[in-house]
Every structure is written in C-alpha cells, then in structure tokens.
C-alpha cells in the first residue's frame, strides 16, 4: 500500500481548525513575509503570518499554532543562524504578476560559512490530488552552491528512496555527486543525488541579483510515481503554459507536510563559496490561478467583510 492511512480535516470550536490533516490539499495558503525587517526566522520570533496555513487552507481562519517558521512540527529541524527578514519585497518584472506585499526571507550560508535552513508546516498532510505552488527567489552572490525550496514529508519506513523525509527540491544543486550545471534551476527528488537529479533540456541560470518566478504542480498517483511539472519565469501567467521547464514522472514522493528554505555552505568537496538567497511570495493551492492571483491581506479581507455587512444593513433599513 503506497500512502498509508489518512485523517479527515476536523473543524472544532468557534471556527478554529484542529491539527488534523487531509490527504488532498484543500484551500490555499500565502506567505508574503510581512514581518519587520531584521526579524530572525526562528521559532522564538513567532513568525506565523500570511493566510491559509491551516487544515482547511481558509484565509478567514487562524493559521495553525504549529505552522510558525521553525516550529518543531516542521521538517526538518532548522539549522544555521543567519536567516532573517529583509526589506523590501522581491519585485518580479511582469505586469501580470500579483502585487507583492511585505518583505522577503534571506537564507544566508555565507555569513558564517554554515548550512542554513528553516521550515514551515503546511498545516495539512498532502499525498493525493493536484497540488500547486509558486514563489519568488533571488541569489545574492556569485556561486553555484545548493539553494532550494524543498517539500518534506514524514518517513514511511519503506526502502529508499521513499524512506527519506526530503521529497522534492527546486533550485540549483551543487554537490560532489551531482550538480545542476552552471547554477541552473533543476529538480532533485528524495535527496538521491545524482540518481534523482533532473536538469532541464533548455536550462535557466539562477544568476545573481535576478528575481525568478517558480511555479510547480504535483499530480499525485495513489498507485505509482507522481508527475512533477515545473515552470521557471513563464511568459504567460494568465493560464497554465503547455510547455514546462521540467516535467518528470520518475519518482514516488510519498507525501508533503512542510516546506523548507535552504542555502548551502562551502562543502569540502565542492569548490564553490557558500550561498545567500532570498525567497518571497510563497503560494500554495490546487489550481494555476490559485497560486498566480492577487491575495488580499487579512486586513483587506476584514474591511471587505465589514463593508458588505454595513451595505446590507443599509439596504435593509431602506426597505423597512
């Protein structure tokens, strides 16, 4: 049996969601890193912003208490000390991209030459259906060391590669065993390098000081390998492009429950300096539009709701 037993989402109390999970991702989530510049991305900072980081992906409900960055429920445990919020937000050069909000997350392995990462629990367990994600990223120094956004899931105890919690990494990979040549974007499944490293036929370089938009889709297969589709800097954001940057159905990814931001140090076997990279505007959903559309701030949502109620009350008074 591939995926194991699945829990059903449960709503408790006055509109608060429990920590139960669903196998199919539901709703949508958004992280604009709308925290103060200089704030450390560690659990002690209590960074649990954005919307939809809960069991139902509902922006009107509170984020799960365990969805804060660096929480012990996220995989893997955070490492490194130079992960901070910096200003301003990353700016993606496309008139059709949603308005960027807040600031950005900087994962810097170069400051202390130490591998650096931080994770956030999705608030859901995902191993079925169709799962979309998008984010902005920028590399800050000239290096090909590994920096990636990675999805993790609990270990199932099965044989490799399904027994490792690291499921799917997107970014540049530079290791003694295998690399995305010349710092290009690639995909690494289940942390099995070089066997599970996928390079693009027409590669796109990360570059330095260049903001990229990455969009991905995972089509889960209950009886076999998942299909992973990735676009890097798609020209048309209005609909899903027919031609992806990378598409592969070679790997069983098992499950997702956390997302990690990672930057690597100067490894002894790799003659590349440690990397510093920024990540921003993380969106999760179930359709192309859900991860490439304007997402109102919670305050905006509240304003719209209050305005609607006032308008309704006014109409009722006129009809009395």
pLDDT in tens, 243-258: 999 999 999 999 999 9
> Quick one: what percent of the chain has pLDDT higher than 90?
67
Give the pLDDT confidence of 31-46 residue by residue, as tens digits.
999 999 999 999 999 9
Separation CA 169–CA 102 (nearest Å): 25
| pTM of the predicted model as reported, rounded to 2 decimal places | 0.84
Q: Residue 202: CB partners within 8 Å, gap ≥ 6?
A: 245
CA distances from 143 to 81, 96, 204, 238, 273 (A): 20, 30, 15, 33, 6
Two structure tokens written together for 147: 């920096």
Our CA dihedral for 95, 97, 100, 103, rounded to 10 degrees, sits at -110
Give me the chain's average pLDDT, please.
84
Rounded to 5 degrees, φ, ψ at 110 are -80, -25
Enter the tokens of residue 305: 């709701």
Are 127 and 256 contacting, i.e. CB atoms less than 8 angstroms apart?
A: yes
Q: 89 preceded by cis ω (within 30°)?
A: no
Amino acid 76: pLDDT: 87
Instruction: Return d(Cα 220, Cα 227) in angstroms, integer.
Output: 7
Q: What is the CATH number of domain 23-319?
A: 2.60.120.200
State how far the Cα of 267 lies from the Cα of 193, in Å rounded to an integer.
15
């Amino acid at each position: 049996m591939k995926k194991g037993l699945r829990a059903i989402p449960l709503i408790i109390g006055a509109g608060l969601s429990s920590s139960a999970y669903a196998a199919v991702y539901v709703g949508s989530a958004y992280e604009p890193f709308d925290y103060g510049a200089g704030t450390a991305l560690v659990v002690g900072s209590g960074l649990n912003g954005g919307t939809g980081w809960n069991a139902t992906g509902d922006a009107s409900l509170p984020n799960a208490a365990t969805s804060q960055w660096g929480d012990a429920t996220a995989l893997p445990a955070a490492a490194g000390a130079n992960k901070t919020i910096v200003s301003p937000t990353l700016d993606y050069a496309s008139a059709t991209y949603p308005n960027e909000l807040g600031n950005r997350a900087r994962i810097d392995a170069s400051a202390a030459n130490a591998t650096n990462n931080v994770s956030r629990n999705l608030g859901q367990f995902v191993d079925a259906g169709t799962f979309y994600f998008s984010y902005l990223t920028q590399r800050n120094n000239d290096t090909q060391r590994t920096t990636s956004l990675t999805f993790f899931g609990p270990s199932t105890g099965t044989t490799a590669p399904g027994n490792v919690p690291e499921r799917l990494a997107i970014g540049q990979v530079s290791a003694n065993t295998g690399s995305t040549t010349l710092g290009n974007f690639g995909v690494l499944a289940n942390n099995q390098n070089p066997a599970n490293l996928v390079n693009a036929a027409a590669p796109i370089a990360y570059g330095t000081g260049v903001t990229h938009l990455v969009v991905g889709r995972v089509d889960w297969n209950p009886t076999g390998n998942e299909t992973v589709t990735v676009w890097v800097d798609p020209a048309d954001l209005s609909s899903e492009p027919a031609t992806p940057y990378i598409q592969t159905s070679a790997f069983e990814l098992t499950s997702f429950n956390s997302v990690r931001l990672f930057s690597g140090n100067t490894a002894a076997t790799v003659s590349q300096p440690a990397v510093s990279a920024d990540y921003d505007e993380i969106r999760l959903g179930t359709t192309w539009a859900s991860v490439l559309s304007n997402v109102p701030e919670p305050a905006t949502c509240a304003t719209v709701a209050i305005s609607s109620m006032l308008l309704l009350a006014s109409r009722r008074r006129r009809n009395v």
